[in-house]
C-alpha cells in the first residue's frame, strides 16, 4: 500500500503545475496509458525509492471563488482525514491571504506531517519575501518554483522522510475484490445481497486500509476477500456528492484490490465520476468488471441491453475488452453472474503464457503484419515473452524499439486478447532493445 499525499491550497498558486511535475517524471515511463490522457488529478510518484499516491485537490473544485471558499474547507478537512501527509501550497507573489490563514488554521490542529511550500520563488528577492509565511504558524517552509522544479528536491526529501512506513501485511493468498462506484449507486445493497443470504462468512477482518472492511467470502465454491468501500463511516461534514470524496475512497480500495467491481446506477449511466473511478482502476492495472445496477427499474425494449453496452464501450475506448453485467441488487438478478465474472477476470489477470506459445502465435503474425517502416527504417521483432509481474505485461524484443508507435502496440495488445483471452484486464506492451 502506498501512502497518500494531498496538495491543498487556494486556486492559482501552482498546485497543478507542481503535481504534473511530480507525476510526469514517472508517468511518462510507467503509467503512460496508450492513447489516453485524461484529466488527471491523481497520480503516482516516487522519490528516493519511496512510492506515494499524489492527489491534487484543486482539480476537484470547479466554480467561482465564493463557491470555492466553502469547498476548500471541505477539501482540506477531507485531505486531513484521508491523506498521510499534506503539502500546503501558497504563492509568494500574492503574499499571505485570508484564505491561506483559514487553511493554516485547519492544518495547525493536525498531527500529520504538513509541509508549507511557498511557490513561485525564482530569485533572491522573492526568497526574502517568503519570510512572511512564518506568520501562518506552521513552522519552517520550503521555497520552490514548480514551473522549473527549483527547490522541490528538498521538499520531497523531507516529505518521504516523514511518511509513515506502511506495514506490509502478509495475508493468505485470496483474491481481493473491491466494490467501488459513486455514492448511492447501490454498492451496499450489492454487498448485502451477496452476504445477507449467506451463512458461510468466515470472518470480518478490519482491512489494513484503516477504513475499508474486508469480508472473507466463501460460497458457490469461490473464496475471496470482499473489500467494501460502501460501509465506510460517513463524515458528517462531507457532502455525499463531493466528487473528491468518492475518488479518495476509491483510491484506497482500488490500490488494495486485484479486481474492481465498478457498480453504477443504470438510471444515471456511465457519468464523469464513474469514468474517473474506471480510469483509476485501469491506471493501477487492476481487473475490472462493470456492474450496471438497478436494471429492474429501467424501461426496456428488446435492444436496450445492447444499446446501453455499446454506449459504455464507446466511453472506455481503447480499453473496451471489459465485461459488463446487468444486475439488480434488489431482486438479486444476476448477482451470482457478477461474482462468477469477477473470478474469471481474476484468473485472466494471473494468467501466465509460455514463451514458446507466445512466439508460435506472434512471430508468423508479425511477419504478415510488420510494424510500419519509420523514416525508411524497418523494425524487426525477433522474440516475445511475458514479464514476471503480478499483472499481464509483455516485452517484444526488436532492433528499433523507439520506432514502434502506439497504434501498432494496440494491434499487438488486441492480438494478445484474441489469442489468449484477457477480458477485463489492462495489458501493458513494451518494446525492448534486442
Does 59 belong to an annotated binding site? yes
Does 57 belong to an annotated binding site? yes
DSSP bridge partners of 6: 55, 86
Does 228 belong to an annotated binding site? yes
Strand intervals (E) in 120-234: 141-143, 176-180, 204-206, 213-219, 222-228
Does 182 belong to an annotated binding site? yes
Does 119 belong to an annotated binding site? yes
DSSP bridge partners of 430: 395
- At residue 102, φ and ψ (nearest 5 deg) are -60, -45
Q: Would 50 be classed as within a structural domain?
A: yes
Does 122 belong to an annotated binding site? yes
Does 36 belong to an annotated binding site? no
Q: From 101, 134, 162, give the residue that closes a domain.
A: 162
Does 345 belong to an annotated binding site? no
How many domains is the chain built from?
3
Instruction: Looking at the structure, tell me whether residues 187 and 313 fall in a common domain.
Output: yes
Instruction: Looking at the structure, tell me whether residues 193 and 339 fall in a common domain.
Output: yes
376 pLDDT above the threshold of 70: yes
Beta-carbon contacts of residue 8 (< 8 Å; ≥ 6 apart): 15, 57, 58, 72, 75, 76, 79, 86, 87, 88, 89, 103, 107
Fill in the DSSP letter of residue 328.
B
pLDDT in tens, 135-172: 998 989 999 998 888 889 999 999 999 988 766 554 55
Instruction: Looking at the structure, tell me whether residues 339 and 390 fall in a common domain.
Output: no
Instruction: Looking at the structure, tell me whether residues 185 and 329 fall in a common domain.
Output: yes
Does 217 belong to an annotated binding site? no
Does 142 belong to an annotated binding site? no
Q: Would 213 be classed as within a structural domain?
A: yes
Neighbours of 191 (CB within 10 A): 23
- Specify whether the CB–CB gap between 40 and 23 falls below 8 A: yes
Does 263 belong to an annotated binding site? no
Tell me how far apart the alpha carbons of residues 285 and 11 are, in angstroms, rounded to a whole number: 32
Does 187 belong to an annotated binding site? yes
Instruction: Looking at the structure, tell me whether residues 79 and 186 fall in a common domain.
Output: no
Q: Would 167 be classed as within a structural domain?
A: no
Instruction: Looking at the structure, tell me whether residues 208 and 155 fall in a common domain.
Output: no
Q: Decide which of 312 and 69 is more confident.
A: 312
Q: Would 306 be classed as within a structural domain?
A: yes
Q: What is the CATH number of the domain that holds 126?
A: 3.40.50.300
Does 274 belong to an annotated binding site? no
pLDDT in tens, 237-252: 444 445 566 666 677 7
Instruction: Please give the share of the chain, as a percent, with pLDDT higher than 90.
Output: 26
Does 231 belong to an annotated binding site? yes
Beta-carbon contacts of residue 385 (< 8 Å; ≥ 6 apart): 355, 358, 394, 395, 397
Question: Which of 178, 189, 177, 182 shows the shortest CA–CA distance to 297?
Answer: 189
pTM of this structure: 0.68
Does 419 belong to an annotated binding site? no
45 pLDDT above the threshold of 70: yes
- What is the average pLDDT score of the chain? 79
What pLDDT, on the 0 to 100 scale, is given for residue 279? 84
pLDDT in tens, 285-319: 899 999 999 888 877 776 688 888 899 989 888 88
Does 184 belong to an annotated binding site? yes
Instruction: Looking at the structure, tell me whether residues 15 and 156 fall in a common domain.
Output: yes
Nine-digit cell at 5? 499525499
Q: Would 284 be classed as within a structural domain?
A: yes
Does 146 belong to an annotated binding site? no
Instruction: Looking at the structure, tell me whether residues 186 and 330 fall in a common domain.
Output: yes
pLDDT band with cut points at 50, 70 and 90 for residue 26: very low
- Specify whether the CB–CB gap between 84 and 164 falls below 8 A: yes
Does 137 belong to an annotated binding site? no
Does 56 belong to an annotated binding site? yes
Question: Whole domain around residue 328: which residue ranges?
Answer: 176-350
Does 230 belong to an annotated binding site? yes
Does 296 belong to an annotated binding site? yes
Does 121 belong to an annotated binding site? yes
Instruction: Looking at the structure, tell me whether residues 336 and 390 fall in a common domain.
Output: no
Instruction: Looking at the structure, tell me whether residues 308 and 362 fall in a common domain.
Output: no
Does 430 belong to an annotated binding site? no
28 pLDDT above the threshold of 50: no
pLDDT band with cut points at 50, 70 and 90 for residue 375: confident
Q: From 326, 350, 374, give the residue that closes a domain.
A: 350
Q: From 140, 162, 184, give the residue that closes a domain.
A: 162
Q: What is the CATH number of the domain that holds 426?
A: 3.30.300.20
Does 185 belong to an annotated binding site? yes
Does 183 belong to an annotated binding site? yes
pLDDT in tens, 124-145: 888 888 999 999 989 899 999 9
Does 421 belong to an annotated binding site? no
At residue 139, the 3 state secondary structure works out as coil
Instruction: Looking at the structure, tell me whether residues 274 and 253 fall in a common domain.
Output: yes
Amino acid at each position: 500500500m502506498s501512502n497518500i499525499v494531498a496538495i491543498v491550497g487556494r486556486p492559482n498558486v501552482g498546485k497543478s503545475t507542481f503535481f504534473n511535475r511530480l507525476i510526469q517524471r514517472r508517468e511518462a515511463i510507467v503509467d503512460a496509458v496508450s492513447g489516453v490522457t485524461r484529466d488527471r488529478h491523481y497520480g503516482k510518484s516516487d522519490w528516493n525509492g519511496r512510492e506515494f499516491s499524489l492527489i491534487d485537490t484543486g482539480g476537484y473544485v470547479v466554480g467561482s471563488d465564493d463557491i470555492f471558499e466553502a469547498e476548500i474547507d471541505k477539501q482540506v478537512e477531507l485531505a486531513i482525514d484521508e491523506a498521510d501527509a499534506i503539502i500546503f501550497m501558497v504563492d509568494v507573489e500574492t503574499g499571505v491571504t485570508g484564505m491561506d490563514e483559514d487553511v493554516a488554521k485547519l492544518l495547525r490542529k493536525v498531527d500529520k506531517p504538513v509541509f508549507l511550500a511557498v511557490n513561485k520563488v525564482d530569485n533572491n528577492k522573492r526568497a526574502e519575501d517568503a519570510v512572511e509565511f512564518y506568520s501562518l504558524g506552521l513552522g519552517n517552509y520550503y521555497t520552490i518554483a514548480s514551473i522549473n522544479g527549483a527547490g522541490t528536491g528538498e521538499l520531497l526529501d523531507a516529505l518521504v522522510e516523514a511518511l509513515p512506513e506502511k506495514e506490509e501485511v502478509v495475508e493468505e493468498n485470496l483474491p481481493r475484490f473491491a466494490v467501488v462506484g459513486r455514492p448511492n449507486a447501490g454498492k451496499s445493497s450489492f454487498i448485502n445481497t451477496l452476504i445477507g443470504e449467506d451463512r458461510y462468512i468466515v470472518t470480518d477482518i478490519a482491512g489494513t486500509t484503516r477504513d475499508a472492511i474486508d469480508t472473507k467470502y466463501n460460497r458457490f465454491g469461490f473464496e475471496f476477500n470482499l473489500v467494501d468501500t460502501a460501509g465506510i463511516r460517513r463524515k458528517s461534514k462531507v457532502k455525499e456528492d463531493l466528487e473528491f470524496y468518492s475518488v479518495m475512497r476509491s483510491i484506497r480500495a482500488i490500490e488494495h484490490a486485484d479486481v474492481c467491481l465498478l457498480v453504477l446506477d443504470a438510471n444515471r449511466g456511465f457519468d464523469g465520476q464513474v469514468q474517473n473511478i474506471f480510469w483509476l482502476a485501469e491506471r493501477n492495472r487492476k481487473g475490472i468488471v462493470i456492474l450496471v445496477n438497478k436494471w429492474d427499474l429501467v424501461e426496456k425494449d428488446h435492444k436496450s441491453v445492447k444499446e446501453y453496452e455499446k454506449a459504455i464501450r464507446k466511453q472506455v475506448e481503447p480499453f473496451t475488452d471489459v465485461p459488463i453485467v446487468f444486475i439488480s441488487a434488489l431482486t438479486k438478478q444476476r448477482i451470482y453472474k457478477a461474482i462468477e465474472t469477477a473470478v474469471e477476470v481474476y484468473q485472466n489477470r494471473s494468467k501466465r503464457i509460455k514463451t514458446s506459445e507466445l512466439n508460435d502465435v506472434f512471430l508468423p503474425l508479425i511477419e504478415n503484419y510488420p510494424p510500419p517502416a519509420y523514416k525508411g527504417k524497418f523494425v524487426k521483432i525477433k522474440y516475445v515473452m511475458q514479464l514476471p509481474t503480478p499483472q499481464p505485461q509483455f516485452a517484444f524484443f526488436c532492433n528499433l524499439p523507439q520506432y514502434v508507435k502506439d497504434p501498432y502496440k494496440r494491434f499487438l495488445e488486441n492480438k494478445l486478447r484474441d489469442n489468449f483471452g484477457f477480458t477485463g484486464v489492462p495489458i501493458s506492451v513494451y518494446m525492448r532493445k534486442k
